[in-house]
Amino acid sequence: MKKYLLGLYTLLMMNACTTSTPPKEGFIEVEGGKIWYRIDGEGDNTPVLLLHGGPGSSSFNLEPLKELSQDRPVIFLDQLGCGRSTRITDTTLMTIEKNVEQLEQVRKALKLDKFYLYGHSWGTMLGMDYYVKYPKGIQGLIFSSPLFSTKIWTDDADTLIATLPEATQKAIRESEQQKNYKNEAYKEAMKVYYKAYVRRSDKSKSQQDSAAKFFGENVYNFMWGPSEFTATGNLLNYNRLKDLPKITVPTLLTAGEYDEARPSSVRYYTSLIPGAQFKEIPQAAHSTMMDNPKEYIGILREFLQKMDVAK
């Protein structure tokens, strides 16, 4: 009987250790629908709020950043129109201005008075615009593979396309001239470009299925365009270069060695932000958190911990 009770006690203690800090998860009402969120981790260190890429992608691609929850609360959310949040067809909701206001509604609902703001790709555009309008409470910024000028982005894309096989370049040129983005040649060209400059590591079947399930394609097409290298949406003229020098909080910018957000451009952005740091992630493309998670997360953790000490 004593052995039974001892075994039961041990099992209960093991379960208590593994379930003592379950993630908090739910939905927040915003204009246009409900935004899904999840909070991993706890403690007194300043939380970090994550803004995923896209537009129309989801926080699924940021799951490796859950490791940061060993040190602090990490807040994942799916922006409206994708992931587990409400899917939308109303194009008046598909603007950066609406996304900024929805993000502010999320902040208020979660009672975030002080936090670090992280953005990846499109999330850096949203994060920048949010910071410009609602800087109060933001203790630091992380801009991962950023886009602060669509012109610079598309110029960089042209440079990268020129490194691809001639047949791939021809397929892109002809499709763009004809504005025909549904043909197989263009789709194949996208695969070649994405493998070189978006994600170099292979996706498992489950990762492919989840990414497809959570993707808000209509949001991506309306706001951005048919592919990473062809911008046709309402972000076509996006430019925040003049606002970068106005940033007054510690800021980290990162890019992968083979990133479509070319390291040279991200270094230029860094030079415009007072006191900002730049880190290049080796052996990684745009999906740095998938291609080289150990190096990438180590850099993020070091930056966040330094800010914790400095505050």
Residue whose structure tokens are 């001639």:
166
Half-sphere exposure of 169 (CA within 13 A, CB side): 10
Residue 164, CA distances (Å) to 121, 190, 191, 195, 231 in order: 22, 11, 11, 11, 19
CA 186 – CA 183 distance, rounded (Å): 6
Does 59 participate in catalysis according to the annotation?
no
> In sequence order, which residues have a C-beta less than 8 Å from that of residue 5 and are 6 or more positions away?
none
CA 104 – CA 112 distance, rounded (Å): 10
Set 40, 156, 259, 291: catalytic member:
259
Buried b (16+ CB within 10 A) or exposed e, 111-150: ebeebbbbbbbbbbbbbbbbbeeeeeebbbbbbbbbbbbb
CA 65 – CA 48 distance, rounded (Å): 10
Does 58 participate in catalysis according to the annotation?
no
CA 211 – CA 232 distance, rounded (Å): 23
> In sequence order, which residues have a C-beta less than 8 Å from that of residue 121 and are 6 or more positions away?
53, 54, 57, 144, 145, 146, 147, 261, 286
Cα 295 to chain centroid, rounded: 17
Cα 265 to chain centroid, rounded: 18
Does 286 participate in catalysis according to the annotation?
yes
CB atoms within 10 A of CB 179: 9
Set 121, 144, 175, 265: catalytic member:
121
Paired sense of beta strands 138-144 and 251-256, if any: parallel
* Helix extents (H) in 56-143: 96-109, 122-133
Set 52, 227, 286, 287: catalytic member:
286
Catalytic residues: 121, 259, 286
